[in-house]
């Protein structure tokens, strides 16, 4: 191992996500030029580390570590089509618990991996329920104009990435309240965001059928029970190879009746409602590698789960409004 690589391997372990840059420099007696050199060396050896501002302090921001699947079988690229996608859900923009900075992180990672397709499985905005008088206190954006305007202005805009989305029950409240549709304004203002349907949609990528589903109702005790039921009710024409399910704010991968199913986590921290109901809440996303034959049959499916930890989140995500800028990569 070269001395440079050895140095990078050693120092990389001491650079913790969210740790203060100043404290690191003091600990290792580095001046700013030496730190710059270290980060440049890290980049050369495939370990990109960024420095970001958090609560007025400069901190390290380490990227996701890719879990390379060593069991990957020998795949014949001449007979199989390769797709890589990213899947997100339940951003609930306008809720004080939203986590836009983490969504930005996922989109940056998607860009770094060369991903061109992101699926969003519904509840883009937090909506407006007239029968929930406690809701406005849980929001920093109220009503259709504020919430949808925020999506138009703040949803990541990344070169080469198209986001295909469905709408969920929270998005639909705006229609029920005054026939305002989130998709109408997003289609007018964001050419990189493609509307697929309300509640569910069947789409295709490189011949592979993908079903996006945003069910209603509460969670079940078992993570697999409700998703399996969703597969059982799909008519054969609609039977996909991949089923992506939003709404539950959980993370789970399963295979049932030859369908690869994923419960997609959220980008909204635990709300008062979830706390009261004793519901758990998972924040994260999935990156998925898919190899399929020419008929659209999935030969190899590798879901990579990205789960954020409590200290990645901002308690009062109203801070998102003040401190997070739109992620724009041109
Ligand atoms: Fe949700």
How much of the chain is helix, strand and coil, in % rounded to 5?
Answer: 30, 30, 40
How many Å lie between the centroid of ligand 1 and the Cα of residue 248? 6
pLDDT over 70 (residue 317): no
Say yes or no: 98 and 162 in one domain.
Answer: yes
pLDDT of the residue at 286: 97
> Is residue 140, in this structure, part of any structural domain at all?
yes
- pLDDT on residue 7: 86
What's the 281 CA to ligand 1 centre distance in angstroms? 10
Ligand 1 midpoint to CA 49 (Å): 31
Q: Are residues 32 and 117 in the same domain?
A: no
92 CA from centroid of ligand 1 (Å): 7
Judged on CB neighbours under 10 Å (0-12, 13-18, 19+), 280 is exposed
Provide the residue range defining the domain that includes 133: 81-329
Give the pLDDT confidence score for residue 318 in this predicted structure.
Answer: 56
Tokens of 157: 């805009």
| Residue 272, pLDDT score | 75
Asked, for residue 71, whether it belongs to a domain, the answer is no
CATH number reported for the structural domain that contains residue 269 in this entry = 3.60.21.10
- CA gap 211, 204 in Å, rounded: 8
Residues 32 and 134 in one domain: no
CA proximity to 286, closest of 230, 256, 328, 244: 244
Report d(CA 83, CA 74) in Å as an integer: 16
Domain of 43, CATH number, reads 1.10.10
Rounded CA gap, 219 and 277, in Å? 10
Q: Are residues 286 and 138 in the same domain?
A: yes
276 and 129: one domain? yes
One-character DSSP codes across 191-231: TTEEEEEESEEEEEETTEEEEEE---S---SSTTHHHHHHH
Q: 242, 259 in Cβ contact below 8 A?
A: yes
Structure tokens at 50: 């960024």
Mean pLDDT confidence for 286-310: 93
CA-nearest of 114, 83, 119 to 298 is 83
- What is the Å distance from ligand 1's center to 5 Cα? 44
| 101 CA from centroid of ligand 1 (Å) | 18
Give how many domains the chain has, as a whole number. Answer: 2
Q: What is the pLDDT of residue 230?
A: 84
Distance 251 CA to ligand 1 centre (A): 13
Residue 70 lies in a domain: no
CB-count exposure of residue 305 (10 Å: 0-12, 13-18, 19+): middle
Tell me the CA–centroid distance for residue 172 and ligand 1, in Å. Answer: 12
pLDDT level of residue 72 (50, 70, 90 thresholds)? low
The four Cα atoms 55, 17, 61, 50 give a dihedral, to 10 degrees, of 120
| Residue 128 scores a pLDDT above 60 | yes
CA 6/CA 20 separation, integer angstroms: 23
What's the pLDDT band for 19 if we cut at 50, 70, 90?
A: confident
Does residue 171 belong to any structural domain of this protein?
yes
- The verdict on residue 15 lying in a domain is yes
Cβ of 290: how many Cβ atoms within 10 Å? 23
Q: Is residue 314 part of a domain?
A: yes
pTM of the model: 0.83
Helix (H) or strand (E) holding 329: strand 328-329
Is the model's pLDDT at 69 over the cut of 70? no
Per-residue model confidence as pLDDT tens digits over 138-168: 999 999 999 999 999 999 999 999 999 999 9
Cα of 118 from ligand 1 centre, angstroms: 18
**What is the mean predicted confidence (pLDDT) over 271-291?**
86
Name the residue among 14, 68, 16, 118 with its Cα closest to residue 327: 118
Q: Ligand 1 center to residue 104 CA distance, Å?
A: 18
Looking at the structure, do residues 108 and 209 belong to the same domain, yes or no? yes
Are 196 and 263 part of one and the same domain? yes
For residue 156, the Cα-to-chain-centroid distance in whole angstroms is 11
Same domain, 128 and 276: yes
Average model confidence (pLDDT) for the chain?
A: 89
Domain boundary among 14, 31, 61: 61
Question: Looking at the structure, do residues 156 and 88 belong to the same domain, yes or no?
Answer: yes
68 within some domain: no
Q: Helix 182-189 and helix 143-154: axis angle, to 10°?
A: 30
143 shares its domain with 234 = yes
Nearest to 119 by CA among 158, 66, 184, 166: 166
Domain-located, residue 74: no
> What average pLDDT does the segment 105-131 reach?
95
Residues 24, 129, single domain; the answer is no
268 contact partners, CB below 8 Å, separation of at least 6: 90, 91, 92, 95, 97, 98, 99, 126, 249, 281, 283, 317
269 and 141 housed in the same domain: yes
Cβ count within 10 A of residue 1: 8
Residue 251: Cβ within 10 Å count:
20
* CA–centroid distance, residue 81 to ligand 1 (Å): 33
Is the per-residue pLDDT at 68 higher than 60?
no
Calculate how far, in angstroms, residue 90's C-alpha sits from the geometric centre of ligand 1: 5
Element (H, E) at 85: strand 81-88
């Amino acid at each position: 191992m070269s001395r440079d690589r050895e140095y990078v391997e050693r120092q990389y372990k001491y650079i913790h996500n969210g740790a203060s840059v100043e404290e690191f420099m003091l600990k290792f007696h580095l001046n700013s030029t030496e730190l710059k050199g270290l980060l440049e060396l890290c980049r050369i050896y495939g370990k990109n580390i960024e420095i970001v501002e958090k609560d007025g302090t400069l901190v390290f921001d380490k990227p996701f570590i890719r879990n390379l699947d060593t069991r990957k079988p020998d795949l014949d690229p001449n007979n199989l089509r390769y797709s890589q996608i990213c899947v997100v859900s339940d951003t609930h923009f306008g809720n004080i618990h939203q986590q836009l900075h983490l969504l930005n992180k996922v989109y940056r990672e998607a860009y770094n991996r060369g991903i061109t397709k992101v699926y969003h499985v519904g509840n883009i905005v937090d909506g407006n329920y007239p029968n929930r008088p406690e809701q406005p206190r849980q929001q920093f954006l109220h009503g259709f104009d504020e919430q949808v305007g925020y999506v138009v202005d703040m949803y990541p805009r990344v070169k080469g990435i198209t986001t295909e989305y469905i709408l969920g029950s929270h998005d639909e409240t705006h229609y029920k309240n005054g026939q305002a549709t989130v998709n109408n304004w997003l289609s007018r203002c964001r050419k990189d965001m493609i509307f697929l349907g309300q509640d569910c949609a069947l789409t295709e990528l490189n011949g592979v059928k993908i079903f996006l589903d945003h069910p209603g109702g509460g969670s079940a005790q078992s993570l697999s029970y409700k998703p399996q039921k969703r597969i059982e009710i799909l008519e054969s024409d609609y039977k996909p190879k991949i089923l992506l399910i939003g709404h539950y704010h959980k993370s789970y991968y399963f295979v049932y009746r030859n369908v690869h199913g994923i419960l997609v986590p959220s980008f909204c921290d635990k709300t008062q409602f979830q706390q009261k109901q004793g519901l758990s809440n998972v924040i994260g996303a999935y990156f998925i590698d898919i190899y399929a034959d020419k008929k659209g049959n999935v030969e190899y499916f590798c879901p990579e789960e990205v789960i954020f930890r409590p200290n990645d989140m901002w308690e009062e995500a109203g801070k998102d409004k003040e401190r997070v800028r739109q992620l724009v990569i041109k």
